[in-house]
Chains A and B, each alone.
Chain A
């Protein structure tokens, strides 16, 4: 574990220094919204946001991408990104989500080369939360507003400066490489950081999700799923914005003489997702689809990977046009 510190006014120098060797992705304004994007020389980093509307998964697993073109004698892979990149400013919940996606996309038997290339070139600096939103519940799902899971470095905002702490050897090497810009924090700065961390965690409310996996499992035949789903429009917002949802489809398109293969995010809340050519559909009703989405996150991944695939970011709560609230779903579905 190594510490570092940087005055906020010097962040631009860090961006420039890192940017000279590769890409620097951080919180910047795009169309009046704070987004994670590649930082341009004209950009200033923005540090006061609860979280981004879009989760970081799109940087590694884009909404849609051409993965290969059809050649005369087989397929030609789209070149994979090379060079180093730094991802700065993801919230700890979202950094954690990347470790879950890793378990899907980087498992040994069939590693996903596109996701892997982007993940392996990226150093992640998470930014701890000062003011968690009312919809945040990371502490109920193995997280914390200053959690280090999925981050190489955790940065804590103490007002005029950030205090950094490495969480992995790669993070330690980064602090060493940029030591000139990232000095060592004073004792007072470390104290301020610890106070900051302690106050933030008290602001996150617990949703009482203890034993949720077993409870949901027992609820799989409950009529409550159909009742809950009556409100759901099946729009897919909750899945597209969820940092851990990773459903997708592969499509072949005829474009140009050879055609190409596209991979695009998809969502289990759509009826066509499971519709078979014969007309048979194993999940015909919205209740079955909603149950699947919730069970996948809170039961199936707990069984297959040992983790609940929800990081408590609250995006599905904030953005649902029908005011569905996963916190209520988890407590309302009776065993």
Chain B
């Protein structure tokens, strides 16, 4: 273990890019599988579903990215990153090759309250590339050690087009799994698409997951979140059983630099996971 790293929260741990997967047709979404260069660092990096970490590309800086792998994936950590044409760090990450070295610091944030959700029905609603931490959660929930602790698992995931769906192989497997009820949808299909078409909030209204003894985990772009709240409330989910993850610009990730504040709380430290009830208090319901 490197001197100072354990006690200095601003320093990154060295990792190697083990595997890069291009996720979508537009090729602006890549999943990076990272391996810690020091065994002790991997041991020290104990994350929960819904947490994020700061990734740094040499010379470019850092950015927060949700952890896309499950705590049960013990050998590695994965992140799925969207490249913005003007984005300094995301562009630098996208130009990496397997074997390159980068830095990670974290895990940060509160994560989904999975322990409190044991014994309940779980409803997962995801849209676009914000599906990453929900993917981590599904992997965790379906793991043989965790699955018995949860009741029915229903998931709805949508993307603009078939080519934009993340984690295509896993989606296939989950759709055939007796352990969960997986609904994949696209806004608009193409010639080969035989699955469902329709926006996520609409599909949610059709699938009608029950609200009794249930919690909904919702991640997506702000517009999708906005349109998903009504169907959930209509189904009977109380605002404190609707859980989502917020994004704000970040720098420190540890509640000091002031950048990610939302109504007196820091998304990096008090969040990124908040209930809809909290978001109504913090920002009047703005995502």
Residues of A at the B interface (CB closer than 8 Å) are 67-68, 70, 73-77, 104-105, 107, 109-113, 221, 246-254, 259, 261, 263, 266, 268, 273-278, 280, 282, 292, 295-296, 299-300, 303-304
Contact = CB atoms under 8 A, between A and B. Distances in A.
Contacts of A253: 59
Contact of B261 (A261, A280, A292): A292
B270 to A, nearest CB: 9
A-side interface mostly:
mixed
Contacts of B252: 248, 250
A14 to B, nearest CB: 35
B61 A251 contact: yes
A261 B10 contact: yes
B274 to A, nearest CB: 14
Interface of B: 2-5, 7-14, 37-38, 56, 58-63, 84, 86-87, 90, 103, 222, 247-249, 251-252, 254-259, 261-264, 283-284, 286
B279 to A, nearest CB: 12
A74 B258 CA distance: 26
A109 B253 CA distance: 12
A280 B222 contact: yes
Contacts, number: 116
B252 to A, nearest CB: 6
Nearest to B101: A73
Nearest to A221: B284
Complex A-B, nearest 3 residue pairs according to Cβ-Cβ distance, in ascending order: A300-B264, A247-B258, A254-B59
B258 A296 contact: yes
B26 to A, nearest CB: 15
A274 B248 contact: yes
A252 B61 contact: yes
A295 B5 CA distance: 35
Nearest to A292: B261
B8 A113 contact: yes
A195 B279 CA distance: 53
A259 B2 contact: no
Contacts of A247: 257-259
A104 B256 contact: yes
B247 A276 contact: yes
A110 B249 contact: no
Contacts of A75: 2, 5, 11-12, 103
